[in-house]
Chain A
Amino acid sequence: MRGFWPILKREVFTFFVTPLAWVLICVFLLVQGMHFYLLVDHFSNQAEVISDQTPLQAFFGNTVLLYLVLFLLVPPITMRLFAEERRSGTVETLLTAPVSPAAVVLAKYVSALVTYVSMWAPTVLYLVILNRTGPIDWHVASAAYLGVFCVGAGYLSLGLLMSALTKSQFLALILTAMCIMGLFILGVGEFVTHEGQTLHDVCAHVSVWAHMNDFGSGIIDSRRLVFYGSIVALSLFCTTRVVDSWRWGDA
């Protein structure tokens, strides 16, 4: 794991000294703020609580806004990571330093994860605000955040792989968005296929909607953890192999 720390520090540094980070954070918090406002407004206008879900559940996954935000947020975080290094040639100085490809991949991945988490961090304030009007089940909230983290971790690892596959940031962005969309649409397939079919089971298994509903209700299902863990492990492994392969071709 030689070179892990300095690369991680530099990646996080780079993200926050470029305008991209602040634009992303602004957009993200704006959308989330609006999301929160709409939910609070909706629930406060109900004369009596007839809903079978809490604002918390709604916030984490029962409106399409959460997924929209994920589609918008993840590809721009990861698009730069390898594509830019290859386009500008800095990958040559990076890989000729005494570092291992695995450390480079992991450092870049963790930096994306750190960025992602730091974007979500301010949303805890919403829960603090909610807590002033009524009790919050912090266990459920934690599970929901674990869900957000898992889904993000999976998507970011896919984004990292896409970024390693191309020299163009834009192409990396598009490819990542397509992958995430693809997974989402496959998940939606759960609702259009019939129960009992293999396809239905597959769709239900990858459905991010179902995953977030579980997490948002405070259910931590080990299948979900294994699913996202596998995505992360597979993507990172593939990325390492891709980085290794640059030695044999035109990087």
Chain B
Amino acid sequence: MISVRNLVKHYGSHVAVDDLSFEVEKGSVVGFLGPNGAGKSTTLRILSGFLGRTAGEVTIDGHQVDTYDAKRATGYMPEAVPLYPEMRVVEYLRFRAELKEVPRKDRRPFVDLAMERARVTDVATRTIGDLSKGYRQRVGLADALVAKPPLLILDEPTAGLDPNQMREVRDVIKGLGKEHTVLLSTHILSEVEASCDEVVVINKGKLVARGTKEEIQKKRRSAGLSFVVRGDKATCVRVLTQSGSFGKITTTPDAQDPALLNAEARWKKGLAEPGLATEAAVAALLGAGLFVRSVTVEKSTLEDVFAELTRAAVPTSADAVEPEQEDE
């Protein structure tokens, strides 16, 4: 559906996208993941035809990007979800449908369907300027959907929403995957887990990794454990080190209760069975006469995943995220 080959984008002397290549298959929901400033929005803007590119080949559904055919095949929702505040929702969507060359007789049913799918039917006659952020976000989504394009490009569709609204938008997106190819960008890992089948990870304008959701999730499974322990600090550190499962161990005395000790232990690289290692570590601590108040599994952050993915040149265990490209 989308084919990006050796895409480069410069802003003056700043390189926003650096030799990026990836493909998106028809019918998949792909998460475009990266920290802020990684070049996600720039890439999506190029795909939408809004920005020009410095070099590289981009095709959408077989059409060169920035042509009528490519634009007609794409429903694009920009990051800030810009809308015309003075229009009513239904007026706006009819305008967008006409602009996107939906034939006159189809316009009403298409607009109705888009409103239904984006769940904005109840505010159809409200003025857009009066809507809440969550509704506006969904009006933007309805706009992307209205001409039933085969490809949807959504730039941070849940940015700035509260958790309830986020869940609603994610649910909507999940439903869209059945009929559309979806490429959505985000910097939140859990969002990818919630709505995507595949992930493309970029950082500093370069492709870091790509793989299925499961492969990325594996990376994220667990970064380490954090214990709250009552007992001697030196013993605690010794026992955890001896268990052989951990790399870095840091301890801090508890702020409220001086008798308690907070210990954070990161798994060793390439640890195969964190579950078993957790059991062993707890048993060892108890065996050494320490009392364990709580054990928390620390999920890795996006940064951890990046660190792991960029290291993935050295193959580890059963994980199969293939680094397609390394820094030159």
Question: What is the bound-complex CA distance between A92 and B50, given in angstroms?
Answer: 6
B76 engages A93 (CB within 8 Å): yes
Instruction: Write the nearest CB–CB distance from A250 to chain B, whole angstroms.
Output: 7
Tell whether, in the assembled complex, residue B82 and residue A97 are in contact, meaning their CB atoms are under 8 Å apart.
no
Known: A88-B82, A97-B71. A247 touches B95 (CB 8 A): no
- A96 near B50 (CB under 8 angstroms)? yes
A93 to B81, CA, bound (A): 9
Partner of B86, one of A17, A93, A96: A17
Whether B71 pairs with A18 at a CB distance below 8 angstroms is: no
B31 at the interface (CB under 8 A from A): no
Q: Are B68 and A6 in contact (CB under 8 A)?
A: no
A216 to B226, CA, bound (A): 88
- The CA of A93 and the CA of B85, in the complex, are separated in Å by 14
Whether the Cβ atoms of B52 and A247 lie closer than 8 Å is yes
What chain B residues lie within 8 Å of A9 (beta carbons)?
95
Question: Are A92's CB and B71's CB within 8 A?
Answer: no
CB 8 Å contact bits of A214-240 with B (1 = contact, 0 = none): 000000000000000000000000000
Q: Which residue on B lies nearest to A3, using beta carbons?
A: B99
Q: Assuming the A-B contacts A93-B143, A98-B72, A247-B51, are A5 and B98 also in contact, with contact meaning beta carbons closer than 8 angstroms in the complex? A: yes
Q: Does B100 contact A (CB under 8 A)?
A: yes
Name the residue on A nearest B84 (C-beta).
A90
Residues in B with CB closer than 8 Å to A6 are: 95, 98-99
Question: Bound complex: CA of A94 vs CA of B45, how far in Å?
Answer: 13
Count A-B pairs with CB separation below 8 Å: 70
Q: Are B49 and A2 in contact (CB under 8 A)?
A: no
**Mask for A82-113, Cβ within 8 A of B = 1, else 0?**
00000011111111111100000000000000
| Bound: A17/B95 CA distance, A | 15
Interface size range on B against A: 20 to 34
Instruction: State whether the Cβ of A177 lies closer than 8 Å to any Cβ in chain B.
Output: no
Instruction: Report B65-116 residues with CB < 8 Å from chain A CB.
Output: 66, 68, 71-72, 74, 76, 78, 80, 82-87, 91, 95-96, 98-101
A141 at the interface (CB under 8 A from B): no
Q: Quick one: which of A89, A97, A250 contacts B11, CB cutoff 8 A?
A: A250
Residues of chain A with a CB closer than 8 A to B83's CB: 90, 93
* Other-chain residue from A2, A89, A247, A248 in contact with B78 (beta carbon distance below 8 A): A89
The reply to whether the CB of A194 lies closer than 8 angstroms to some CB of chain B is no
Bitwise interface map of A from 135 to 159 toward B, beta carbon under 8 Å scored 1, else 0: 0000000000000000000000000
Distance to closest chain B CB from A43 (angstroms): 44
Q: Determine if B48 is an interface residue (Cβ-Cβ < 8 Å).
A: yes
Find chain A residues with CB under 8 A from B68 CB: 2, 98
Chain A residue at smallest Cβ distance from B88:
A17
- Listed A/B pairs (30) with beta-carbon separation below 8 Å: A2-B68, A10-B95, A13-B87, A13-B91, A14-B84, A14-B87, A17-B86, A89-B78, A90-B84, A92-B45, A92-B50, A92-B78, A92-B82, A93-B76, A95-B49, A95-B50, A96-B48, A96-B74, A96-B78, A97-B71, A97-B96, A98-B68, A98-B71, A98-B99, A98-B101, A99-B99, A247-B51, A247-B52, A248-B51, A251-B50
Please list the residues of chain A having a beta carbon within 8 angstroms of any beta carbon in chain B.
2-3, 5-7, 9-10, 13-14, 17-18, 88-99, 247-251
Binding site for A on B (CB under 8 A): 11, 45, 48-52, 66, 68, 71-72, 74, 76, 78, 80, 82-87, 91, 95-96, 98-101, 143
Given contacts A10-B84, A92-B50, A96-B48, 12 further A-B contacts (CB under 8 A): A7-B99, A88-B82, A88-B85, A89-B78, A93-B96, A94-B99, A95-B49, A96-B76, A98-B100, A99-B99, A247-B50, A247-B51
- In the complex, the 3 A-B pairs of residues with the closest C-beta atoms, listed nearest first: A89-B82, A6-B98, A247-B52
